[in-house]
Amino acid sequence: SWNVKWINGPTKRYEILSQFARNIYNIALLQETHLINSEAGQVFSSEYNSKSRGMAILIRKRVQWVASEVINDPEGRFIIIRGTLYNKKFIIIKIYAPNTTQAPFWGNISQQVSPNPEGGGDFNAVEDAGIDRSGHPLPWDSKSSKIIRDFMTSWNTNDAWRMYPKERKYTFYSLAHKSYSRINAIYVSHSILLNTLDTKIGNLTISDHATTDPSLSKTMLWKLNTSLLKETKFTEMIRQEIKEFFSTNNGSVNSKNVVWDAVKAFCRGRIIIYSSNKRKKEKKKTELESKLDKAEKAHMLDPKNGQLYVEMLQAHNQLQILIDQNTEFAFFRTKKKYYELGDKAGALLAHALKKQEAAYTVPAIKANNENLIKDPRELTKNFKNFIKVCTLHKRVHQKRNRAKIPCRSQDDQIKLEAPLGNKEVEQAIKKWALEENKLPEST
C-alpha cells in the first residue's frame, strides 16, 4: 500500500512501476493517482477530478485474478473489488480516509463491505497514538482511533504491521508538527495473517509516504533468469565451465543420468555465483537505502533535531540521484531499442500487437436478464443475435433508404474506364521521377 502523491510525468511513473517490478509486488494499492490499463497490468481505479484523490488497485498480469464486481466511490475515497484469486473468493479494498468527519465515511464503506476483507490505505489517523506517533497524541486521536478499531474488529481484520507489537516505525513525516506517524496501514484477515512471513515499512523515497509491504509464504523453486542468456559474457562463461566439467569428469561414472544430473547441479551453482556477483553492482543502492533507513530512525526518535533532519535529507537526496540516474539510463535503453527495432517485424512489434489485441478483447457482457456472461461461445452467440436484431430493425432500413450515397456520373465513369495513353504514362513517370529526385527537372 502506497500514497504515491500524484504520478504526473513519465519519470515518476517509471520510478514507481519499476519499484513494483523490482520488489515483485503481486498486488499494489495506490492512492493519489490516476493510472490506466495501458500503463500497468490489471488496473481497477476510482478517479476524481482533483489530483489530491483518486486511487488504483494494481494486480500483476500473471496473478490469476477474476473480478466479479467493482465498487467505485464518486469522491475518489475508496474502491472495492470482489473476485476470485486462484479460485478462492476475496474482497480487496483500498481506502483514502478524509482528515475530518471520518464516522460518516466509515459508515458508508461498512454498508458495502462484508467481513474478512483484505486491504489498506491512508487512514489519516492512527490506531494507537501511543506507539503510532512519535510526538504527543493529537486532540482528535482518541476518537479517530476508536472508529478505526471498531470497524476493523467488526470486519474481523488485523493490522499486518503489528506482527511486531512494540516496534516503532512510521510511514509519514509531518513537517508542520515535526513528528512522525503511521497513518498508512494494511489490514488482513486472520487466515492471511497466519501465512504472512514479514511486513516491512519502506523509506520515504519518491513520495512523502512510505510503503507498507506484507509478504506471504510461498514455496520458491530455483529458476533460471532467462535475461542472462542475452549476455555474451554469461553464455561464454557457461560454455567454458561445461567444457571444463566434462574434460575433468568424463568417464568418472558409467551412468549418463548421473553425469547429466551432476552437470545440471554444477551449472546451477555457477549461475547462482554469477548472479550474486552481478547483484554486487547494486550494492551502492542498498548501502544508500540502509543509510537513509538509519537516518530516518534517528530522526524519528528526535523529530525536532535540525541536524538529524539535514542528514536525513542528504541521504534521501543521494538515493534519489541514484534512482534518477537508473531511470535516465532505462529511458535511454528504451529509446535505443525502439530506434533499432521500432520499424522491424519482430518481438517488439509482436508484444505491442498482443497488448493491443488484449485491450480490445471483451471478457464479459451483461445479458438482457442482467446476468454476467463470460463463456466465449455464449459471448459469440449473444453478439450474433444483437447484430441480427439491429440489421433487421425497420429504422435501419429507413435510414439506409434515405441516405444520400454519392455516385459517379456517366461521363466520369467512361473516363475512368478508358485505356491509358502513352502521353499519360510518360507524364506519370516524369512526375514520379521528379518527386524521387531521380531525374533532372529538364527531362
> Which residues lie closer than 8 Å to 315 by C-beta, 6 or more apart?
288, 291, 292, 295
Q: Are 100 and 178 part of one and the same domain? A: yes
pLDDT at 80: 92
pLDDT at 41: 60
Q: Is the residue at 309 inside a domain? A: yes
Q: Are 399 and 261 part of one and the same domain? A: no
Q: Is the residue at 157 inside a domain? A: yes
The distance of Cα 356 from the centroid of its chain, to the nearest Å, equals 17
Q: Are 53 and 40 part of one and the same domain? A: yes
The domain boundary residue, chosen from 189, 218, 247: 218
Q: Is the residue at 441 inside a domain? A: no
Q: Are 291 and 194 part of one and the same domain? A: no
Q: Is the residue at 443 inside a domain? A: no
Q: Are 107 and 212 part of one and the same domain? A: yes
**CB-based contact 54:31 (threshold 8 Å):** yes
pLDDT at 440: 47
C-alpha distance from residue 34 to each of 43, 82, 99, 316, 336 (Å)? 10, 21, 21, 26, 28
Q: Are 244 and 193 part of one and the same domain? A: no
The domain boundary residue, chosen from 361, 390, 420: 361
Residue range of the domain that includes 235: 221-361
In a 3-state reduction of DSSP, which class is residue 374? coil
Distance between CA atoms of 116 and 88, rounded to whole angstroms? Answer: 13
Q: Are 146 and 231 part of one and the same domain? A: no
Q: Is the residue at 442 inside a domain? A: no
In a 3-state reduction of DSSP, which class is residue 382? helix
Q: Are 49 and 61 part of one and the same domain? A: yes
Q: Are 270 and 390 part of one and the same domain? A: no
> By CB neighbour count within 10 A (0-12 exposed, 13-18 middle, 19+ buried), where does 116 fall?
middle
Residue 12: closest CA among 230, 205, 248: 205
Q: Are 64 and 136 part of one and the same domain? A: yes
Q: Is the residue at 440 inside a domain? A: no
Q: Are 58 and 183 part of one and the same domain? A: yes
User: What CATH number does residue 71 fall under?
Assistant: 3.60.10.10
Cell of 429: 513517370
What is the count of structural domains for the chain?
3
Q: Is the residue at 20 inside a domain? A: yes
Q: What is the pLDDT along the chain (443 residues), one digit of tens a residue?
A: 788 776 667 787 788 878 877 777 888 888 877 665 555 567 887 776 656 677 888 888 888 888 888 998 888 889 999 988 877 889 999 999 888 778 888 888 888 888 889 999 899 899 998 899 998 888 888 888 999 999 898 888 999 998 888 888 999 998 888 889 999 999 998 888 888 778 889 888 888 888 898 888 665 567 777 777 877 888 899 999 999 888 888 778 888 888 888 888 899 888 888 887 767 667 788 888 889 989 988 998 888 888 999 999 999 998 888 888 778 878 887 888 888 777 777 777 787 777 777 667 777 888 777 778 888 888 888 888 888 877 776 676 677 677 777 778 888 888 888 888 888 888 888 887 766 554 444 44
**CB-based contact 289:203 (threshold 8 Å):** yes
